[in-house]
Amino acid sequence: MSPIETVDLLVTGARQLVTLRGEGEPSPRAGRGMSELGIIRDGAFAAKDGRIVRVGSTEEVSRQVRLAPGGEAVDASGRVVTPGFVDAHTHAVFEGSRPQEFEARLQGSSYQEIAAQGGGIRSSVRAFRAATTEQLKETALERLDRMLELGSTTVEIKSGYGLSLDDELRALEVARELDGAHPVDVIPTFLGAHEIPEEFASRRDEYVALVAEEMVPEVSRRELALFCDVFCEEGVFTVEESERVLVSAKRHGLGLKIHAEEFTRSGGAALAARLGATSAEHLLEVNEDDIAAMREAGVVAVLLPGVSFSLGLSKYAPARTMIEMGLPVALATDCNPGSSMTESMQMIVTLACVEMRMTAAEALAASTSNAAFAVGLGMECGSLEAGKRADALVLNMEDYRELPYHYGVSNVQHVIKNGRLVVRSGLRVRS
Ligand SMILES: [Zn+2]
Domains of the chain listed by start with CATH number = 5-83+382-428 (2.30.40.10), 85-374 (3.20.20.140)
Report, as an integer, the average pLDDT of 67-92: 97
Distance 381 CA to ligand 1 centre (A): 22
CB-based contacts of 142, cutoff 8 Å, min separation 6: none
Q: What angle do CA 366, 317, 112 make, to 5 degrees?
A: 125
Residue 116 pLDDT exceeds 90: no
Lowest mean pLDDT among 102-116, 242-256, 363-377, 384-398: 102-116
- Residue 297 confidence (pLDDT): 98
Distance 4 CA to ligand 1 centre (A): 47
Distance 327 CA to ligand 1 centre (A): 20
C-alpha distances in Å from residue 142, one per residue of 85, 138, 186: 18, 7, 14
Distance 26 CA to ligand 1 centre (A): 27
Distance 108 CA to ligand 1 centre (A): 22
Provide the 3-class DSSP secondary structure of residue 77: strand
Residue 431 pLDDT exceeds 80: no
Residue 288 gets the label, from left (phi > 0), alpha (psi -120 to 50) or beta, of: alpha
Distance 82 CA to ligand 1 centre (A): 26
Read off the pLDDT of residues 129-138 as tens digits, 9 standing for 90 and up.
999 999 999 9
Distance 89 CA to ligand 1 centre (A): 6
Distance 27 CA to ligand 1 centre (A): 24
Read off the pLDDT of residues 353-363 as tens digits, 9 standing for 90 and up.
999 999 999 99
Distance 191 CA to ligand 1 centre (A): 9
Query: What percent of the chain has pLDDT above 70?
Result: 100
Which pLDDT band holds residue 1 (cuts at 50, 70, 90)?
low
Distance CA 130, CA 230 (A): 24
Distance 19 CA to ligand 1 centre (A): 29
Residue 193 pLDDT exceeds 80: yes
Read off the pLDDT of residues 146-161 as tens digits, 9 standing for 90 and up.
999 999 999 999 999 9
Distance 259 CA to ligand 1 centre (A): 7
Lowest mean pLDDT among 102-106, 192-196, 349-353: 102-106
Distance 282 CA to ligand 1 centre (A): 8
Distance 231 CA to ligand 1 centre (A): 8
| Inter-residue long-range contacts of 262-267, CB under 8 Å, 24+ positions, other chains counted | 262/233, 262/307, 263/111, 263/112, 263/233, 263/234, 264/233, 264/234, 265/290, 266/232, 266/233, 266/234, 266/238, 266/239, 267/232, 267/239
- Residue 233 confidence (pLDDT): 92
Report, as an integer, the average pLDDT of 205-209: 98
Distance 360 CA to ligand 1 centre (A): 24
Distance 141 CA to ligand 1 centre (A): 19
Report, as an integer, the average pLDDT of 287-315: 97
Read off the pLDDT of residues 8-35 as tens digits, 9 standing for 90 and up.
999 999 999 999 998 877 899 999 999 9
User: Residue 370: which of 29, 105, 91 has the closest Cα?
Assistant: 29
Give me the half-sphere count of Cα atoms (radius 13 Å) on the Cβ side of residue 352.
Answer: 31
Lowest mean pLDDT among 87-101, 114-128, 219-233, 381-395: 114-128
Distance 202 CA to ligand 1 centre (A): 24
Distance 228 CA to ligand 1 centre (A): 12
Strand partners, 258: 280
Report, as an integer, the average pLDDT of 57-82: 97
- Residue 375 confidence (pLDDT): 98
Distance 390 CA to ligand 1 centre (A): 28
Which pLDDT band holds residue 410 (cuts at 50, 70, 90)?
very high
Residue 290 pLDDT exceeds 60: yes
Query: What percent of the chain has pLDDT above 90?
Result: 93
